[in-house]
Amino acid sequence: MTAQRCDHCDLLIGAGCACPSEGDPHIAEGQAPRRTGLRGQAPDAIIVSPAGNAHLPGCFHLSDSEISGPKFGWVVGPGPGAWSRISESHPLRATEGNADRVAVRRCLTCDAQA
């Protein structure tokens, strides 16, 4: 049996997809579509984990199927120097996915590669 991908978010059903089974879960009436998963669409993004860690796309700590709202948040096109400023005194709030996520420290592996 092969894994099936959700028609709406393209994540694996039962392994990352959190879409309701009826209707279009990503478009509320009168709203524009929102992204629910990063899935390699933004190589310049900063990913914010539930633990408050910032990661860069491709980090070996994360799999593509993991990086989705509501578990993770992210910032696409964060601007120059945003990565190096992330700290307790300069937190980075996610703007997409779960916008309640806030990064206060950088992944050491990603930091070494940045």
Element (H, E) at 96: strand 96-97
Q: Shortest CA distance to 71 belongs to which of 49, 91, 53, 55?
A: 49
Higher pLDDT, residue 35 or 6: 6
Contact 27, 39 (CB under 8 A): no
The pLDDT confidence band at residue 107, using thresholds 50, 70 and 90, is very high
How is residue 57 written in tokens? 């796309």
Closest CA to 43 of 53, 31, 32, 57: 57
Q: Is 47 exposed, middle or buried (0-12, 13-18, 19+ CB in 10 A)?
A: buried
Q: Is the pTM of this model over 0.75?
A: no
Residue 87, pLDDT above cutoff 90:
yes
- Residue 14 binned pLDDT confidence (cut-offs 50, 70, 90): low
Instruction: Please say if the pLDDT value at position 31 is more than 50.
Output: no
Q: What was the pLDDT predicted at 24? A: 43
pLDDT of amino acid 62: 81
Q: How far, in Å, are 41, 46, 57, 96 from residue 104 at the CA level? A: 24, 12, 17, 17
Model confidence at 25: pLDDT above 50: no
* The predicted structure's pLDDT at residue 99: 93
Q: What is the rounded average pLDDT for all residues in the chain?
A: 77
- Per-residue pLDDT of 39-65, as tens digits, reads 556 778 999 999 999 999 888 888 777
